[in-house]
Amino acid sequence: MTKREQALAALFERLGAVAGPEKLRNAAAPEAVPAQGLMILRDDGVDKQPDPEATLSPVVYAVTHIAGLEIYVERGQGANRDAMLDALLAAVGAALDADRTLAGAVDYVRALNPQTDDLYTAGSATTKAALVPIELTYDTPDLLV
């Protein structure tokens, strides 16, 4: 398993500590949102990943990988949805804070500023969504290994 996959798998496992929402990895956009909410971890959360820095002798790449965590809630009306999304965001923050190295898979993990939006679909309840970029920092001797 590559260092990149180890980091992403460890992040997905850590997100399992968040109680309530269904959790998926790299799944298609949801047609329906479960009552407890839905979290989808995307391996790549930005259009372009930052270029890694390299040191020589021995070669080591300092990688900053940004994954994307999508959080969806649909239950209730306006303020209830907002409160549910806020609670899930806080739970994600607490889960990451509990283990910043993801059991040694990364040097450091942190959530970046979330972007939230209301999604409207004809004939269904309004969905509140957040995209949380999650920064994984680790060293590797080879970007493809």
Q: What is the DSSP pairing of strand 38-42 with strand 22-25?
A: parallel
Stronger pLDDT, 143 or 92, i.e. the higher one: 92
Question: pTM of the full predicted structure?
Answer: 0.92
Write the single-letter amino acid at 18: V
Whether 126 shows a pLDDT value over 90: the answer reads no
Cα 91 from Cα 61, distance rounded (Å) = 31
Residue 41 structure tokens:
């971890």
Spatial contact of 132 and 39, defined as CB atoms under 8 Å apart: no
In angstroms, the Cα distances linking 16 to 38, 59, 89, 100, 102 are 12, 34, 14, 15, 12
Q: How confident is the model at residue 77 (pLDDT cuts 50, 70, 90)?
A: low
